[in-house]
Amino acid sequence: MDKHLQKPKILKVDTVASSRLFTIESVDLTFSNGVNRVYERMRSSGREAVLIVPVIGDDLLLIHEYAVGTESYELGFPKGLIDPGESVLEAANRELMEEVGFGAKHFDVLAKLSMAPSYFSSKMNIVIAKGLYPQSLEGDEPEPLPQTRWPISRMMELLQQPDFTEARNVSALFLAREFLQRELL
């Protein structure tokens, strides 16, 4: 960070709206140059999330899941919130079992990403899962999540798929490609 940058002073924080998932806050700030601004943000629940890139043989395992924000089905990787008391890897294994019916013998954490940090403070842990074995858990999905196996040799072609557009999935794809290429060296 630039040593000349100074964080703005928070003058006031008000709750604007709340739902069972989000709290929206209005934040009054004064910047070091004297400029005042009001920003809005979604306050985090404090829970991080995990997105899993499952590798099964020579394929990536993806799911089709309804995204209410875009009112469409998106092709992407399994993901979910980390439950209280759960580690990133425990959550990754649980989400795999719930969403795709597999557990994994081996995980590698690829990155921890921020999601829209101007508005949202939550973090997404990107994990690659290998050594998959059949194992299911009951999840909270309202419908079955159809699966697609996609050849690793063509993984970057996912970027041309009209339903593979969500930024977290795109980021995970690039991180997984770098990890898998290093693994082959």
- pLDDT tens track, the chain, 185 positions: 566 788 999 999 999 998 877 889 999 999 999 999 999 988 877 789 999 999 999 999 999 999 988 889 999 999 999 999 999 999 999 999 999 999 999 999 999 999 888 888 789 999 999 999 999 999 888 899 999 999 999 999 999 999 999 999 999 999 999 999 998 76
How far apart CA 19 and CA 22 sit, in angstroms, is 5
Residues 99 and 147 in one domain: yes
Residues 23 and 105 in one domain: no
**4 within some domain:** no
CA angle 11, 13, 18 (to 5 degrees): 170
Range of the domain at 36: 9-43
**Could you count the other beta carbons within 10 Å of the beta carbon of residue 36?**
11
Residues 73 and 35 in one domain: no
Q: Is the dihedral of CA 19, 169, 112, 141 positive or negative?
A: positive
Phi, psi torsion values for 35, nearest 5 degrees: -75, 135
How far apart CA 71 and CA 21 sit, in angstroms, is 18
How far apart CA 78 and CA 100 sit, in angstroms, is 8
Residues 37 and 80 in one domain: no
- Its pTM stands at 0.88
Distances (CA, A) of 18 to 26, 39, 86, 103: 12, 16, 26, 35
CATH number at residue 176: 3.90.79.10
